[in-house]
Structure 1
Amino acid sequence: MGVPRIVPISDLRADAASLVKETRETRRPVFITQRGRATAVLLSIEEYEKDIDRVEMLEALDSGQEDIASGMRGYTLEEVNERLKAVIARHE
């Protein structure tokens, strides 16, 4: 990821459009500070959606592990593929 871009909230107020354009073009987050402390992160919508997809996938994997540990029946490969196709189709 490299060195993060960090800007004070006053820069966001002064030139929000430029910062939004930067996140969209670079696909890298911009960290916003207030009184010297990180308070927010500005992401492009594409990167935000990717992050949400990653979290959903990790939660599904964790849930599956818990189900298996408790003796619950797992999913067939076909069932898993159908669920993955649905997630992918949602973001095309």
Structure 2
Amino acid sequence: MPRLKPSQDVQPLSAFRANAAGFLEQVRTTKRPLVLTQHGRSAAVVLDVDEYEALVEQVEVIRDIRDAKAEMSRGEGIAHEEIVAELRSRLHP
């Protein structure tokens, strides 16, 4: 995801309401998130759909890796060699 540019990518909610289509086009074009503020404080983030999906996928992969490491540390994992042997036996009975 491209880096946020505070001068362009932080806008008050009132400005977003007045020009929602323009800001959505900015998000689609730049792929940068748009931070909306309300009463001078961060209130919401608008993301391009593709960027959002990529972000969710990255989080899922990181969680899978974390879970796998935890399983391995508890001795619940299966050795690489065992998996390879199992797969080979299934492919070449």
TM-score tier (shorter): 0.7 to 0.9
Q: How far 1:12 sits from its partner (Å)? A: 1.1
Structure 1 equivalent of residue 41 of structure 2 = 37
Among 26, 33, 36, the alignment partner of 2:30 is 26
- Specify the code of the residue in structure 1 equivalent to 2:51: E
Structure 1 equivalent of residue 65 of structure 2 = 61
Q: How far 1:73 sits from its partner (Å)? A: 2.0
Q: State which structure, 1 or 2, has the greater radius of gyration over its C-alpha atoms.
A: 2
Q: How far 1:2 sits from its partner (Å)? A: 5.0
Segments of 5+ residues of structure 2 without an aligned counterpart are 84-93
Among 12, 17, 24, the alignment partner of 1:8 is 12
Segments of 5+ residues of structure 1 without an aligned counterpart are 80-92
Question: TM-score, normalising length from structure 2?
Answer: 0.76
Aligned-residue identity in percent = 31
Give the number of aligned pairs: 78
RMSD of equivalent CA atoms:
1.9
Tell me the secondary structure at the aligned position of residue 15 of structure 2. Answer: helix
- The alpha-carbon distance between structure 1 residues 19 and 74, as it changes in their structure 2 partners (threshold 3 A), is farther
- The alpha-carbon distance between structure 1 residues 74 and 38, as it changes in their structure 2 partners (threshold 3 A), is farther
